[in-house]
Structures are given as C-alpha cells and as structure tokens.
Amino acid sequence: MTNLTFKALVTGAMLGLGATAAQAAECIAPANPGGGWDFTCRQIGKIMHDIGAVDKPVQVTNMAGAGGGLAFTHVVSERGEDADLIVAASSATSTRLAQNAYAGMTADQVRFVGAIGADPGVIVVGKDSPYQSLNDLVDAIRAEPGKLAFAGGSATGGFDHLKPLMILQRAGINDVRAIKYIGVDGGADAITQTVGGFTAAMSGDMSEIVGFLKSGDVRALAVLTEERVPGFDDIPTAKEQGIDVVAVNWRGLYIPKDVSDETFNMWAERLQKVADSDEWAEAMAANGLAPFTKVGGDFQSYVDDVVAEIRTLSKEIGVIQ
C-alpha cells in the first residue's frame, strides 16, 4: 500500500500545484508558455507582486487556442464579472478582432485596460543582402513584382504580413501579389529562412531580432516607429526614409466587460505602477521593448482606432471580404 500512497501523494502534489490560492488575481495568457502573451502575464504579474501593487502572487493560466480566441470567448461568456481576472493582449488581439477571426466576437465585449511597452515592427535582411535601405527593397519589388518573398512569424494575413503590405501601399504599390509571404513558426524561424537565403527579407518585431543583430547575422533596414528606438539608434525609421508606416506590437491587458468602473480604475492604476517601476524598465530593455504607455480610457479608444484601421486595410488588400 505504500506504493499506492506514494503515487497518490505525487498526483496530489501535482494537482495542488495547479490550483493554489483561489483568492489571488489570475492572469490568463491566451497561448502556450513561451510566447509574448505568456511573457506579458508572467512579467507584469511578477512585478505587480514585487512592488506591492497586489498582495498575493498573480496566478498565470495558459489558455492556448484559436490564436487567443478561446480565452476571449471564455472571458466574455463565463467570466464577465470576475474582478480578479486580467488577460494578456497585444496587437495580434486587435488584428484578429478586426479581421473577425474570433468567430464574431468584437472588441467592445471586453475592456482594454492599457498597454505598457511595445515591440517595434522591423524589416530585416541577411547581412550579405544587396539591399541597403528600405527604398532599395521597395524599388526591387517595384521592378519585379511577385519575385521577392518575405518571411514572418505570423500566419498569412497576420500582423507580420500586414507590415510589408502597409509599406508597399504607402510606397504606391497596391498589388497585394507584388510580394510573396511565408508564415513560419515564430520570428527566429523567419530570420533563419532569411539568413539562409530562402526569403529576401523578414518582417517581425524588435525583440525577435535582438540576438541576431548582436551576432551580426542580420541588418535592420527599418524600424516602424515614430522615432528611432533608444538603444537601437543606428536603425532608421521607415518614416525618415519617406515611407510613413508606424506598426508596433503593443503589450497590454484586457479585463472582463461587466466589472465596475472602480475595478477598471484599480487595474489601470496597478498597471501604471508597473509601467513606472525600474523592474519593468529593465524587463523592457532586456527584451527589446520600447516604452509605450497608454493606460485607462485613452487606451480603449486607441484600440478602437487600430481595429478600424486594420479592418479597412485588410479589406483593401483582400485579406477579408
């Protein structure tokens, strides 16, 4: 019977680990461990506890599925009034809402609390690439439409695909078929394909290319922000190269819709505290994030604008009808 007891103990211990402290706040990361949403939950949750914004450690739940759609549906339909719940979100969330990829769910079914930090969009090429500037690349595409390929970490129609399409559109090339795009499993994979010469350029986020920039495997042609990113001052913006595209992957949170305004403000304040903390500044610097703080009511209207813009663009380029 000792064997049985032992086994029961092991299983019990595992069960116990999965369900600690029911009172503590919960952060749902709508993806498997390892991605940006998981990072958002774990870092923000940890810092909130470290700086005393919450009393108990924030419990992180990974709820992968449908590119965040499963968690979104779960929050809307089952957790509508849960005041202790926060959910990680990013540009991918607003992109998918705009493209109606959450099975009819809309952005106004939750409340967006805020974003603290953004991963700037980048266009990079291998170190031996003939293209020295964003305009070199655009001119090459103009000369031979349909010849060059981009690799990115999101699926076709996703944010990494939209970035080069936005650039081409602002440069006056409206044919969506002017470039080829392959969606691979994450930014590092996309860089590998580009460095290996299988694609001409990679469209991704700054955090995905930091290690490769330092090792000298890639050159960044442009960063898609208003200003150059601190710490990466030698990378020109697309804007200063005459192509006015700003595309950042913000990292933030949403909460259920039916919570009180006090709860909304409470989370907004906590998030602001994290944004102001040294710990968050360090975490951002270590992960290639640029400061991007929009908290509270401002942020909700920002998300609404972004959703509308991406919906229009997606229709123009034919990603959705």
Partner 1 sequence: MDLLNNLAIGFGIALSPYTLMLAVFGCFIGTIIGALPGLGPSNGVAILIPLTFSMGLDATSALVLMTAVYYGAMYGGRISSILLNIPGDEPALMTTLDGYPMAKAGRAGDALVISGVASFTGAFLSTVGLMLLAPLLARVAFKFGPAEYFALYLLAFATLGGIASNNQAKAAIASCIGLGIAMIGVDNNSGLPRLTFGNMHLFDGIDFLVAIVGLFAIAEVFFFIESHGKNTSIGVKLDKVRVPWADIWDTRWTQLRASVIGFIAGVLPGAGASLGSFLAYMSEKSVAGEEGKFGTGVAKGVAAPEAGNNAAAGGALVPMLTLGVPGSGTTAVLLALLMTLNITPGPTLFTERPEVVWGLIASLLIANFVLLLMNVPMVRIFVKILSVPPWVLLPGVTMVSFVGIYSLSGSYFDLLLMVAFGVLGWVLRKLDVPTVPIILGILLGGHMEDSLRRAMVLSDGDWTYLFSSGIAITLWAVAVAGFVAPMFLRNIMKKPQRITD
| Binding region for partner 1 (CB under 8 A) | 3-4, 6-7, 10-11, 14-15, 17-18, 20, 32-35, 38-39, 42-43, 46, 57, 61-67, 69-70, 73, 99, 101, 103, 146, 149, 155-158, 180-186, 188-189, 192-193, 195-199, 210-212, 214-215, 217, 282-283, 286-287, 319
Instruction: Give the rounded distance of the alpha carbon of 37 from its chain centre.
Output: 7
Mapping DSSP to helix (H, G, I), strand (E, B) and coil, where does residue 311 land? helix
CB nearer to partner 1: pick between 186 and 297: 186
Rounded least distance, CB 258 to partner 1, Å: 21
Instruction: Write down the H helix ranges in the chain.
Output: 2-18, 36-50, 69-78, 91-98, 134-143, 159-170, 187-195, 206-215, 261-276, 278-286, 297-316
In angstroms, what is the minimal distance from the CB of 303 to partner 1? 21
Q: How far is the CB of 240 from partner 1 (least distance, A)?
A: 28
Identify which of 294, 272, 292 has the alpha carbon closest to the alpha carbon of residue 284: 292
CB of 191 to partner 1, least distance (A): 8
HSE-up of residue 203 (Cα within 13 Å, Cβ side): 32
Can you say how many angstroms the Cα of residue 243 is from the centroid of all Cα atoms in its chain? 23
- Nearest residue (CB) to partner 1, 218 versus 223: 218
Least CB distance to partner 1 at residue 268 (A): 24
Residue 90 main-chain phi, psi, to 5 deg: -155, -175
State which residue, 194 or 225, has the beta carbon closest to partner 1: 194
- Pick the closer one to partner 1 by CB: 78 or 262: 78
Tokens of 35: 């991605």
Query: Which phi-psi region, left, alpha or beta, contains residue 200 (left: φ > 0; alpha: ψ -120 to 50)?
Result: alpha
Shortest distance, position 118 Cβ to partner 1, whole Å: 17
**What tokens does 83 get?**
């005041």
Q: Which is nearer to partner 1, 193 or 225 (CB)?
A: 193
CB nearer to partner 1: give 151 or 238: 151
Residue 293, phi-psi category: left (phi > 0), alpha (psi -120 to 50), beta (remainder): beta
